[in-house]
Structure 1
Amino acid sequence: MENQHISSRYDKDLDKLKQRILDMGKQVITQLAEATEALDEFDASEVDRLVAFDRTINGMHQDIYTRSERLIALRQPMALDLRQALSPINIAGELERIGDHAKSTAKRARKLEGHEAGGPARDKIREMSGLVQVMLTDALRAYAESDIALAEDIRARDRQIDQINKDIFAMQIATISEAPQDAETHVHLIVLARGFERVGDHVVNIARHVHQIVTGIDLKATS
């Protein structure tokens, strides 16, 4: 009975950690969406709020890390249980980095404010942002439901993000030669696209963590 009681408490602790990850993920998705909106509808106070909110994301990351560390130390889990206890640390780290990108996007909105050049690239950046937000939503669902088929689909979708990033880079380099007076704006757009490409990579890493939780196979180590 004692072992059963310990196991039940362990499962409850894991469920609480999983819920904290899902809550953090929702906050990060909102942060990404609002930072992208700031690129088109600049509001200095809103940008300040988004930048400051990154501290909340960092705090959630630290809380998840501390709770996971304590759970592992107290319960000393084995195999699958250990993977489940470690995964919040890994996934929270990826979410924290995505939050950093949302903060950087909001900051870059300040530099783009008042500059209208690069309309087609801006459209593609909005497209990238929407795609990675959907990918992250699905990655969190894959984590919640231990769905490795969905995790694999997310990894495949990342190729589209990579291609859009390449398209934006080529487009902006060509445009700089035609309109050098707007070169700074075009460079900002290249950096933004590269940032969203990195967000896609972080989402893929979350999908890989889901695969490892369920199967025990580290796809990075085997690729």
Structure 2
Amino acid sequence: MERQREERKIEMERQREERKIEREKEELEARTRIELEKLRLQEERLRMEQGIARRESPGRESEFRIQDCYRSLPFFEESDVERFFIQFERVADELGWPREFWHILVQSKLTGKAARAYNCLPLEDAREYTKLKESVLVAYSLTTEAYRQKFRKIQKTQNETFCEFLARKQLVFDKWIRAEEIGGDYGKLRELFILEEFKNCLPDAIKLHLEETVLA
């Protein structure tokens, strides 16, 4: 009897979680439809008032149609969120997609925690690609401070070689530097390391407060 009650409880929890996921999916699809409809109306208005906006490229003209972009979008995986954004931005730059449409294209691929982070954004922020991206990265703790801490605390595992450990540490370092948007600027790199050493000299309570504030 007790076992049956426990099984019913587990089944109810499973059904409740499935309904929650389905609601989130429906909300995301609804927001996507609304945004696409707004874009369609904007396009019609531009056609009526100014004609079709065209981008010029060597030897030809082409009309931007957001519907044609979806087949070129990279696949979103929760296990490697950062790679999705890197691939997306490369494709968008290469194909010349107008930046004002980026948030529409990105949110159509989001799932899991990323979709929930998007749904929690105010409408104004959800329409801005940079804020959308930042919100998703924070949801997965992919912030500059998180990368810094991971780089400093990463340890060699028993099953990996020293070369593999070095490669893994280099990968995390590259992600940290990329998140800081330092590029090849030596001055910014110098400032970053001096600031970190300065923080290491602070009392533990103050240092912990600063780290928690940045990660929040």
| Same fold (TM > 0.5) | no
TM-score of the two chains, using structure 2 as the length reference: 0.38
Higher relative contact order (CA 8 A, sep 6+): 1
TM-score of the two chains, using structure 1 as the length reference: 0.37
